[in-house]
Chain A
Amino acid sequence: MNDAFGHPQSVIVLGGTSEIAREVVTLLAADRCRTVVLAGRDPVSLEVTATELRQSVARVEVVLFDAAATGDVDPTITRCFEIAGEAVDLVMVAVGELGAQETDEADPDRIAQMVTVNFTWPAAALSAVGAHLTRQGHGRMVVLSSVAGHRVRRSNYLYGSAKAGLDSFARGLGESLRGTGVTVHVVRPGFVRTKMTAGRSPAPFAVGPERVASDIVRGLEHGQEVIWTPGILKWVFSTLGCLPRALWRRLPG
Chain B
Amino acid sequence: MTGTVEASHRQLSGWGRTAPTRARVDRPVDAASIAGAFRTQTGGVIARGLGRSYGDAAQCSGGLTIEASGFSDIGKLDDSSGTIDVGGGVSLHDLMRHIIPSGWFVAVTPGTRYVSIGGAIAADVHGKNHHRDGSFANHVVELTLVTPTGTFTVSQDADPELFWATAGGMGLTGVVISATLRLIPIETSWIRVDSQRFARLDDLMSTMEDSDHRYRYSVAWLDCLGHRDGNHRSVLTRGDHAPSGAIPDRLRSRSREVPGDPRVRVPRSAPGRLVNRLSVRALNEAWFRSSSRSVGSLHPLSGFFHPLDGVGDWNLLYGPAGFVQYQFAVPATRGDVVAEAVGAIASSGIPSFLAVLKRFGPGTPGPLSFSQEGWTLALDFPLGPPGLPALLDDLDELVAHAGGRVYLAKDARLRPELLPVMYPRLPDFAAVRRRVDPVGVLASDLSRRLGIPG
Contacts and interface: CB of A to CB of B under 8 A. Distances in A.
Interface of A: 1-7, 9, 31-32, 86-87, 134-138, 179-181, 218, 221-223
The size bracket of the interface on B is 20 to 34
A9 B447 CA distance: 13
Interface of B: 11, 16, 18-23, 55-56, 60-63, 320-322, 324, 383-384, 386, 388-389, 412-413, 415-416, 445, 448-449
Contacts of A5: 18, 383, 388-389, 413
Nearest to B451: A9
Contacts of A3: 18-19, 412-413, 449
B273 to A, nearest CB: 11
B19 A1 contact: yes
Given A136-B61, A137-B61, A181-B22, A7 B445 contact: no
Contacts of B60: 137
B448 A1 contact: yes
Contact of A222 (B20, B61, B321, B412): B321
18 contacts: A1-B445, A1-B448, A4-B383, A5-B389, A5-B413, A7-B413, A9-B449, A136-B62, A137-B23, A137-B63, A138-B22, A138-B62, A179-B11, A179-B22, A181-B20, A218-B386, A222-B321, A223-B321
Nearest to A3: B413
Contact of B62 (A2, A137, A222): A137
Nearest to B323: A4
B384 A222 contact: yes
A135 B415 CA distance: 26
B22 A4 contact: no
B62 A32 contact: no
Contacts of B61: 1, 87, 136-138, 181
Nearest to A218: B386
B239 to A, nearest CB: 34
Given A1-B61, A4-B55, A5-B383, A87 B448 contact: yes
B41 to A, nearest CB: 13
A32 B448 CA distance: 13
A71 B445 CA distance: 35
A12 to B, nearest CB: 17
B8 to A, nearest CB: 12
Contacts of A6: 19
A179 B13 CA distance: 12
Given A137-B23, A138-B445, A179-B11, 13 more contacts: A1-B21, A4-B413, A5-B413, A31-B389, A135-B62, A136-B62, A137-B22, A138-B61, A181-B11, A181-B21, A181-B22, A222-B321, A223-B321
A202 to B, nearest CB: 27
Contacts of A87: 61-62, 448
A137 B43 CA distance: 10
A138 B324 contact: no
Nearest to A2: B19
Contacts of A218: 386
B65 to A, nearest CB: 10
Ordered nearest first, which 5 A-B pairs have the shortest CB separation?
A137-B62, A137-B61, A4-B412, A4-B18, A181-B22
Between B324, B413, B415, the greatest number of chain A beta carbons within 10 A of the residue's beta carbon is seen for B413
A238 B188 CA distance: 65
